[in-house]
Structure 1
Amino acid sequence: MALRWGISCAGLIANDFVNALLTLNPDDHQIVAVGCHDLKESEKLKTKFDIPNAYGSYLELAQDPNVEIAYVGTLNPWHFEVSKLMLEHGKHVLCEKPCGMNSKQVEQLVALAKEKNVFFMEGLWIRFFPSYQHVRKQIRNGQLGEILAVKAEFGLKDLVKVDRLSKKSMGGGTILDMGVYTIQACQWVLEEEPKSIKAKGILNEEGVDIEMSAELDYGDNKRVQINTSALNQYSNSVVIVGTKGQITINEIFCSTRIIDLDGKEKHWPLPKAKFDFHYPNSCGLRYEADEVRKAIRTGKKEHENVPHSDSLGIARIQDELRRQLGVHYEGHDD
């Protein structure tokens, strides 16, 4: 039975998500509606992808009885409110990262999902890529031996010019946006939260972090470093060093390639889609969507690849990073 999707946004990421969904079996996935604060934008998405219904508000989408699950891809400050609205109306929710501006918001969403007995997941799409799945198996099978060090960095030159990264009103900052990928990588590898964090960074004139670096203490002398930047180009990789060897995940947020233990590159190509994508390797959103469907159809309320505990852990780490750098969002104080 097809999972009936409602798209709670109409921007670039919504375009990519719908485009990726259409590469999957139509017997498994059906897009039944799109809704956002601007009916004209919803109509554009409806026309482009031949979606049956378009709404000019999130409430109308939430009230559509034919929508089973809402994909929330709004700007960061609205993730919480839109997800909350959908959950209150009994919809399953897949929300883009970060699913809350702070850990208290994430706690509320998780609690509400449990109260309503519906599925809820933060959109850490990269964890569903075959590359990440391969690395997880290598680690759990002991192929790397004991983990000694993890370095995860994500930096793009001149990204500071992009409003959603630099404007406080838009929930900007590298910690909330790019930092998710570095933090989740450490969790993915070590499967626990750090015992302590030491962070430093650079803030812009609005008090938004445009560069951050942090050392995370996981005990047992593990060396863990995360870096984010909207000013400088980094390697954008995750380097995992164990007693038996090293694996490098390239393209930290959309990886189809790794350098495996044998020093050779492995590549998992993505399928073609009907339309061009706005962001690199966005067709990989299909992996996440398909796993969400499988989880819901088997009665699960969270996915083992992105459990609620991980989303809460990421949010707590982000809270601490922002606290140390002095980044605060009006109306979203911890």
Structure 2
Amino acid sequence: MTQKIRWGIAGLGNIAHRFTKDLIAHVENGELFAVAARDLGRAEEFSKQYGCETSYGSYVELANDSNIDAIYVATIHPFHKELIKLFLKNGKHVLVEKPALTNLADWDAMAALAKSNGLLLAEAMKSVTFPAYRAMKQFILDNKVEITSVEASFGNWHEYDGAWHLFNPKLCGGATLDVGVYGLWLYADLCRLAGCAINIPTVEYVQDNEQSKVDENATFSFDDPLKGRICASITRDLPRNAIIRGPELEIVMHEKWWSSSTIDITYQGEVTQIAMPIKGGGFANEIEHFSSLLQNNVHQSDLLNHETSRNVVRVMETCLNRGGYASLVQSSEK
């Protein structure tokens, strides 16, 4: 497949707008073909804004469109499984927003469905597709650098609103699933790079609003073989640098580390700075990567790989279950 990948978008909230802007303006191997929402009027309004000719008022119609190659699932995560299943069963490759799924059973089922249908399924963790991050990993490999610890935080203050999805347990809100997934992906990806097993961490949960039914602050502490301290919050502003250490090594991914274009590496007394811009608004690199895989008939991504997605959802599910937040990771498929 050498032609441009024809994309459909399911769910038309804020993140879908950001994705679409990059797809239109910064991606050469993909194009917007159709959009869908549960409300046709909303889909038509979205299409008008971006010059898209095809709008659907249901996800089933989007799934049945034989002209579409790949679908970006941009709904909130409680609805991911039913949509992933729908699109895979209708022969569509799927890029799904993070967290892709909230429990291991659902991830394994969807990964198996993708494999059995010869389709590409990937979690949209765009941070690992950025040029600076990829160059940092290559530096680690080329220099046979040992990593011993990873520290990363992702947190922003939000005023409590129990009806908003971030604080709504019925919509699988909370810090772990909304922003903790970023730091856990970083940790798990570096464990994979280093060939380290990922053990279940200890977790400290702290609430800032006593009426809240979701985890507002979570600190994950990993022991050997690779130590890690991953912090997540939906009620506090947290530091935005990530720090990776090892013998004679310190790597600083500058803020925002999950969208870092500048990374400083101090190794054996020498300083190397990686400065590589992110294309567009942050979505173009992952769209190009996914589209390129399809053009080359490749149905597994080494960057957005299943092993890391599986490890991350395993950690999130186990920790939330143990912390008393089991309802947040239950499948909500209708």
What TM-score results when the alignment is normalised by the length of structure 2?
A: 0.90
- Point out the more displaced range, 186-195 or 227-236: 186-195
**2:325 matched to which residue of 1?**
327
* Contact 1:156/1:231 (<8 A) preserved: yes
Structure 1 residue 260 displacement after superposition = 2.8
**2:41 matched to which residue of 1?**
40
Whether 1:304 aligns to 2:311 is no
**2:185 matched to which residue of 1?**
184
Structure 1 residue 193 displacement after superposition = 4.0
Seen in structure 2, the aligned counterparts of structure 1 residues 20 and 56 have a Cα distance that, compared at 3 Å, is same
What SS class does the counterpart of residue 258 from structure 2 fall into? coil
Q: Aligned partners of 1:231 and 1:246: how far apart in 2? A: 29
The letter for the 2-side match of 1:230 is I
**1:68 matched to which residue of 2?**
69
What SS class does the counterpart of residue 99 from structure 1 fall into? coil
Gap regions ≥5 residues in structure 1: 273-282
**1:256 matched to which residue of 2?**
261
* Contact 2:27/2:288 (<8 A) preserved: no
Structure 1 residue 49 displacement after superposition = 0.5
Show CA shifts across 1:45-91 (max 9, x none). Answer: 10011011000111110011111100001011011111111111110
The letter for the 1-side match of 2:24 is L
Structure 1 residue 156 displacement after superposition = 1.0
Structure 1 residue 263 displacement after superposition = 5.1
Show CA shifts across 1:256-287 (max 9, x none). Answer: 22223255754333456xxxxxxxxxx22100
Structure 1 residue 25 displacement after superposition = 4.8
Correspondence list, 1:21-100, <5 A = 21-26=23-28, 28-100=29-101
* Contact 1:199/1:324 (<8 A) preserved: no
Correspondence list, 1:1-334, <5 A = 1-26=3-28, 28-142=29-143, 145-158=145-158, 160-161=160-161, 163-191=164-192, 192-203=196-207, 205-219=211-225, 222-250=226-254, 251-261=256-266, 262=270, 266-270=274-278, 283-329=281-327, 332=330
Structure 1 residue 149 displacement after superposition = 1.3
Q: Aligned partners of 1:77 and 1:236: how far apart in 2? A: 27
- Point out the more displaced range, 94-103 or 162-171: 162-171
Seen in structure 2, the aligned counterparts of structure 1 residues 20 and 159 have a Cα distance that, compared at 3 Å, is farther
Q: Aligned partners of 1:223 and 1:72: how far apart in 2? A: 33
Q: Aligned partners of 2:97 and 2:109: how far apart in 1? A: 16
Q: Aligned partners of 1:87 and 1:146: how far apart in 2? A: 39
Matched residues, number: 320
- Point out the more displaced range, 242-251 or 113-122: 242-251
The letter for the 2-side match of 1:158 is H
Structure 1 residue 100 displacement after superposition = 0.8
Structure 1 residue 248 displacement after superposition = 1.1
Q: Aligned partners of 2:156 and 2:148: how far apart in 1? A: 27
Seen in structure 2, the aligned counterparts of structure 1 residues 156 and 331 have a Cα distance that, compared at 3 Å, is closer
What SS class does the counterpart of residue 45 from structure 1 fall into? helix
Show CA shifts across 1:225-253 (max 9, x none). Answer: 11111121111222100112211112132
Q: Aligned partners of 2:54 and 2:204: how far apart in 1? A: 47
* Contact 2:203/2:319 (<8 A) preserved: yes
Q: Aligned partners of 2:161 and 2:147: how far apart in 1? A: 37
Seen in structure 2, the aligned counterparts of structure 1 residues 330 and 21 have a Cα distance that, compared at 3 Å, is closer
The letter for the 2-side match of 1:218 is D
Q: Aligned partners of 1:109 and 1:47: how far apart in 2? A: 33
* Contact 1:150/1:239 (<8 A) preserved: yes
What SS class does the counterpart of residue 309 from structure 1 fall into? helix
Structure 1 residue 196 displacement after superposition = 3.4
Seen in structure 2, the aligned counterparts of structure 1 residues 14 and 104 have a Cα distance that, compared at 3 Å, is same
Tell me how large the CA RMSD over aligned residues is. 2.0
* Contact 2:40/2:56 (<8 A) preserved: yes
Q: Aligned partners of 2:200 and 2:329: how far apart in 1? A: 27
What SS class does the counterpart of residue 82 from structure 1 fall into? helix
* Contact 2:7/2:30 (<8 A) preserved: yes
* Contact 1:181/1:252 (<8 A) preserved: no
Q: Percent identity?
A: 26
Q: Aligned partners of 1:330 and 1:15: how far apart in 2? A: 26
Q: Aligned partners of 1:95 and 1:189: how far apart in 2? A: 22
* Contact 1:175/1:321 (<8 A) preserved: no
* Contact 2:78/2:331 (<8 A) preserved: no
Structure 1 residue 135 displacement after superposition = 1.4
Gap regions ≥5 residues in structure 2: none
What TM-score results when the alignment is normalised by the length of structure 1?
A: 0.90
